[in-house]
Amino acid sequence: MAASDKLITTVSTKGQVILPSSIRKRREWVAGTRLVVEDTPEGVLLRPTPAFAATRPEDVFASLPSRGKPLTLEEMDAAVLAEARRRHARD
């Protein structure tokens, strides 16, 4: 759709707005899609809600149980390299 192809919709008495199907299809917004509504200086912005809530590292740090002593960076690098070699060898 070109920028000059403006679509018009109407606000219902209940405050509902129908989004044109061409936009819903292009955005893959099906019934039940949750949207964030943001009031901006340019107008109203609709964005799909994130699939996962935002988290901070301190919210999840050390949340998995630990088994054994911590590995050094060198040991972790060696383990990653060994796994990469193992996966490459089977391809």
Amino acid at 80: V
Q: What is the pLDDT of residue 80?
A: 95
Can you give the pLDDT of all 91 residues of the chain as single tens digits?
Answer: 555 578 899 999 999 999 999 999 999 999 999 999 999 999 999 999 988 888 888 887 777 777 888 889 999 999 999 999 999 887 6
If you write DSSP's letter for every residue of the chain in order, what string do you get?
--TT------B-TTS-BPPPHHHHHHHT--TT--EEEEEETTEEEEEEPPSS----HHHHTT-SPP-SSPPPHHHHHHHHHHHHHHHHHH-
Q: What is the pLDDT of residue 44?
A: 93
Q: What is the pLDDT of residue 57?
A: 82
For residue 46, give the nearest of 58, 33, 65 by alpha carbon. 33
Q: What is the pLDDT of residue 35?
A: 95
How far are the Cα atoms of 17, 31, 51 from residue 55, in angstroms, in the given order? 32, 27, 12
Q: What is the pLDDT of residue 1?
A: 53
